[in-house]
Amino acid sequence: MTTQPHTSTAGPPGDISQMSYAGPVVAFENVYKIYGKGESEVRALDGVSLEINAGDFVAVMGPSGSGKSTCMNILGCLDVPTSGRHLFKGVNVSDLDRDQRALLRRHFLGFVFQGFNLLARTTALENLELPLIYRRIDKKTRREMAMEALRVVGLTGREHHTPAELSGGQQQRVAIARAIVTRPSLLLADEPTGNLDSARSHEIMELLTKFNREQGLTVILVTHEEDIAAFANRRIDFRDGKIQRQTDTRKVG
Amino acid sequence: MFTNTLLMCLREIRRNLLRSGLTVLGIIIGVAAVIVIVTLGAGTTKQVQEEIGKMGSNMLVLSPGGERRMGGAATTSAPFDLADLTAIRREVNALSGATPVNMRPMQVVIGNENRRVNIMGTDNDFSTVRNWKVTEGRLFMPSELKSGKAVCIIGETIKKDMFAGQSPLGATLRIAKVTCNVIGVLEAKGQAMFGGDQDEIIAVPIGMFQRRLSGKPNVDSIYISANSEGEIAEAKAEVEKLMKERRNTGEDGQVDFNVRDMKEVSNMVQSTTGVLTGFLSAIAAVSLLVGGIGIMNIMLVSVTERTREIGIRMAIGATEREVLLQFLVEAAMLSAFGGLAGITLGLLGAAALAPVLNVPFTLQFSTVFTAFAFSAMVGVVFGFMPARRAARLDPIEALRHE
């Protein structure tokens, strides 16, 4: 278990995120997630195996109840499978305890939610600094990194606005900036455009595409909408807890 | 990280200023009450000690009546007389003075003013025994003492109230029905231990008291001062031995008088104030407890309200311990602020009350520090349960929370 993130805070956190692993970023090996027992048993995930490689831009689709939310929770290390193995950079996440999974999220994952989930009454800048605080990054560096992330998502000048003072699209861009400010290995976006109109949705998707293309950020996206899924270069369809179809939608050229 | 937590908590408290204020009201009141009580209690103790020092810590008081028995009625024992006083003066070596003190409130008339005043029948030795000087005029003359002449030495308050500050020397006043010449004014002594003005007094010769005011040849009590503090026990023993002989107490050891030294009195006063302080502090502690429960209550509400925030923090990578610490620090900070406010309020209250209650204001840093530490501790203890609840939240559920 040499690649397991250690709980000590010694050394710059960058060292941990530089941890190299040649295999897929994430792999599911025959993953089951079962709620309830006996007659009322629900198989949210029913023997799922998948691999996601560095640089992938994956759209996860499927009707509600198909298991895609459960899949995202496990991918986000917020939940563990009932059985099977969830490997993150070769580490079996099922073996980790709550705090170790928290550290994994802190150092490798970024989240974007449908409801933005920014801290209310807290400025954009402070929202961005939050994950950096947990990473024990000093105040000056933190400020610089947060300002840079805001610039990248095109919100320079809005750093002191609270979520209530920003439009939905702007809020989601702050959320994306918060997710990428730590330079994660994997970005999980759960219906990031679900609360936005189509113009804003496209802006958000272009932003995600840009990070995927330019920085090689691995993105997994849950969506209902075909045109949003079209931004991805891979598509996984879920139905009844199983993967129904995996499609390579990479555009030629 | 800890500074960040502190700042974060500070912001959270500021964000809900009114609610935070109301939450810590219990702590503020509790701490303020403790501070007021302890400060005034310490002031009283100090005052008593000072007063006993002023009175002369060498002083013994001989009064009739045996050791008080629980539940027993105060027995009427034979009073002393001037022969006892003479015997004490003659027989007891370790004393520097002994003086009779007959004290009784009586109607006093000066011009058309009329009030009840403590009349003290005594002789010149009261001045040395009680360390009480005459500032104007003079003490009694031997002839006045012998004949029981109607002269008096008045206390400062009588002079101020009834003579409008003018010199009362040579004036006359009436005690009961006896017209009396003022020959002196006593030095101001100020308030007595338990309130009451020591300067509202008129001293007359013991002979006059006996013959013309009370009509009985009694001496109610005898104040004795030992040569030095070291000789108190010796003087006490000698007086006891002498009085036993003179009062023919049998071998059964039943004595019908007692000799008290000022240490006993001082200890009595201190234990009384101690019990009182302890009792009031217990009440204050209950209010701190209630304050703590208030904090727990509001922190639980806060955790519920901020469930989504906790979910976000967990998704971002906060560990259980970090979430716990955040809420714990917030609770501790809240109650520590309450403690500070309570200390300020308590000290102000004590400073304001001290002159009203005639108690000196004494600032005790140990009290202030203990109150602060205790209030912060209340926050930690009562904040722990809500903080743990926050830390144990399931991030998925928390993120879904509306």
DSSP letters, B365-388, are HHHHHHHHHHHHHHHHHHHHHHHH
- In this structure, of A79-83, B260-264, B332-336, the range with the lowest mean pLDDT score is B260-264
Q: Could you count the other beta carbons within 10 Å of the beta carbon of residue A175?
A: 28
Euclidean distance between CA atoms A119 and B313, whole angstroms: 9
Distance, in Å, from the CA atom of B311 to the CA atom of B401, rounded to the nearest integer, reads 9
Average the pLDDT over A66-73 and give the result. Answer: 92
Asked if pLDDT for residue B197 goes beyond 80, the answer is no
Spatial distance between the Cα atoms of A251 and B17, rounded to a whole number of angstroms: 56
Per-residue pLDDT band at B329 (split at 50, 70, 90): very high
In total, the C-beta contacts within 8 angstroms joining chain A to chain B are 57
Average pLDDT over residues A175-203: 94
Whether A43 is covered by a domain: the verdict is: yes
Calculate what percentage of chain B has a pLDDT beyond 70. 92
Give the minimum alpha-carbon distance from B384 to chain A in angstroms, rounded to a whole number: 19
Q: For residue B301, which phi and psi values (nearest 5 degrees)?
A: -60, -45
Phi, psi of A196 (to 5 degrees): -120, 155
Check residues B191 and B383 and name the one with the higher pLDDT: B383
- DSSP code for A124: H
User: Who has greater pLDDT, A8 or B206?
Assistant: B206
pLDDT range class, residue A109, cuts 50, 70, 90: very high
* Spatial separation of the C-alpha atoms in residues B379 and A107, rounded to whole Å: 33
Q: Is the pLDDT of residue B7 over 90?
A: no
Burial of A104 (0-12, 13-18, 19+ CB in 10 A): buried
* Residue B39 to residue A126: CA distance in whole angstroms: 45
Average confidence (pLDDT) over A51-66:
93
Q: Is B315 within 8 Å of A136 when comparing Cβ atoms?
A: no
Read off the pLDDT band of B266 (50, 70, 90).
Answer: confident
Helix (H, G, I), strand (E, B) or coil at A166: coil
* Section A173-201 average pLDDT: 94
The count of other CB atoms within 10 Å of the CB of residue B198 is: 21
Domain assignment of residue A159, yes or no: no
Residue A163 pLDDT exceeds 80 = yes
Q: What is the DSSP letter of A162?
A: -
Task: Provide the token pair at B224.
Answer: 């004795």
Coil/strand/helix, residue B143 = helix
* Optimal mutation site among A6, A117, A122, A138, interface B, most CBs of chain B within 10 A: A117
Interface of B with A in 21-80 (CB under 8 A): none
Which chain B residue shows the shortest CA-CA distance from A128?
B316
pLDDT at B376 over 70: yes
The predicted pLDDT at position A70 comes to 93
At A251 the pLDDT is 62
Q: Which chain A residues have any C-beta within 8 angstroms of a chain B C-beta?
A: 73, 76, 78-79, 98-99, 102-107, 109, 111, 113, 117-121, 130-131, 133-136, 178
Q: Which residues have a Cβ under 8 Å from the Cβ of A148 and sit 6 or more positions away?
A: none
Which CATH number covers residue A32? 3.40.50.300
pLDDT band, very low/low/confident/very high, at B192 (cuts 50, 70, 90): low
Confidence at residue B63, expressed as pLDDT on a 0 to 100 scale: 85
Highest mean pLDDT (candidates B69-78, B83-92, B228-237, B340-349): B340-349
pLDDT at B251 over 70: no
Write the residue in A76, A117, A133 that is nearest to B312 by C-beta.
A117
The DSSP bridge pattern shows strands A186-190 and A57-61 to be unpaired
Q: Which residues of B touch A121 (CB under 8 A)?
A: 15
Residue type, B152: C
Residues B77 and A163: their CA atoms lie apart, in Å, by 88
What burial class does residue B284 get, using C-beta atoms within 10 Å of its C-beta: 0-12 exposed, 13-18 middle, 19+ buried?
buried
B396 contact residues in A (CB cutoff 8 A) = 73, 78-79
The pLDDT, as a whole number, for residue A9 is 41
Q: Are B149 and B236 in contact (CB under 8 A)?
A: no
Percent of chain B with pLDDT over 90: 27
pLDDT of residue B73: 44
Among A180-189, B3-12, B135-144, which stretch is predicted with the lowest mean pLDDT? B3-12
Could you tell me the pLDDT band of residue B47, with boundaries at 50, 70 and 90? confident
Q: Which residues pair with B61 in a beta bridge?
A: B223, B260
Q: Give the pLDDT band (50/70/90) at residue A20.
A: low
pLDDT band at B380 (very low <50, low <70, confident <90, very high): very high
Contacts of A98 in chain B (CB under 8 A): 319-320
Average pLDDT over residues B221-225: 89
Q: Please, which residues bridge with residue A146 across strands?
A: none
- From chain A, the residues in CB contact with B4 under 8 A are 133
What's the gap between Cα A200 and its chain centre? 20
Residue A210, domain extent: 22-115+184-248
List for chain B the helix, strand, coil content (%; round to 5): 60, 20, 25
Helices (H) and strands (E) in chain A, counts: 8, 10
Q: Of the ranges A6-10, B136-140, B318-322, which is most confident?
A: B318-322
| Average per-residue pLDDT for chain B | 85
How does DSSP assign A175-186, residue by residue? HHHHHHTT--SE
Is B6 at the interface with chain A, CB within 8 A? no
A123 part of a folded domain = no
ipTM of this complex: 0.89
- Identify the pLDDT of residue A14: 44
CA distance A60 to B184: 108
Residue A154 scores a pLDDT above 90: yes
Predicted local confidence at residue A217, as pLDDT: 94
Alpha helical stretches, state H, B102-141: 125-129
B337 phi, psi to nearest 5 deg: -60, -45
* A64 occurs within a structural domain: yes
Q: What stretches of A76-197 show up as alpha helix (H) in DSSP? A: 98-108, 124-134, 139-152, 168-180
Do the chains contact at B317 and A99, CB–CB below 8 Å?
no
pTM of full prediction above 0.95: no
| Residue whose entry in the numeric block shows the structure tokens 């010769």 | B205
Q: Flag if B317 and A131 touch (Cβ within 8 Å).
A: yes
Number of domains in chain A: 1
The arithmetic mean of pLDDT across residues A32-60, rounded, is: 93
Instruction: Please indicate whether, in this complex, the C-beta atoms of A103 and B4 are within 8 angstroms of each other.
Output: no
pLDDT of residue A148: 95
Could B317 and A103 be called an inter-chain contact, meaning their C-beta atoms sit closer than 8 Å? yes
- For residue B135 the two structure tokens come to 């500032």
User: CA–CA distance from A140 to each of A137, A145, B240 (Å)?
Assistant: 8, 9, 83
Mean pLDDT calculated for residue range B348-370: 87
Mutate to test the interface with B, among A68, A78, A176 (most CBs of B within 10 A): A78
| Gap between the Cα atoms of B173 and B187, Å rounded | 19
Best probe of the A interface among B306, B307, B316, B329, by most A CBs < 10 A, is: B316
Q: At residue B265, does pLDDT exceed 80? A: no
CA torsion B306-B317-A94-A232 (nearest 10°) is 100
Mean pLDDT within B320-336? 92
CB contact under 8 A, B316 and A98: no
The answer to whether the beta carbons of residues A75 and A103 sit under 8 Å apart is: no
Is A12's pLDDT higher than 50?
A: no
* Mean pLDDT value across residues B264-270: 74
Maximum mean pLDDT: which of A15-19, A127-131, B65-69:
A127-131
A99 and B319 within 8 Å at the Cβ level: the answer is: yes
pLDDT score of A202 = 94
Of the segments B50-54, B65-69, B330-334, which one has the largest average pLDDT value? B330-334
- DSSP designation for A64: T
Structure tokens at B52: 């006993």
Q: CB distance B316–A131 less than 8 Å? A: yes
Task: Using CB atoms, pick whichever of B308, B312, B318 lies closest to residue A102.
Answer: B318
Determine, yes or no, domain membership for A3. Answer: no
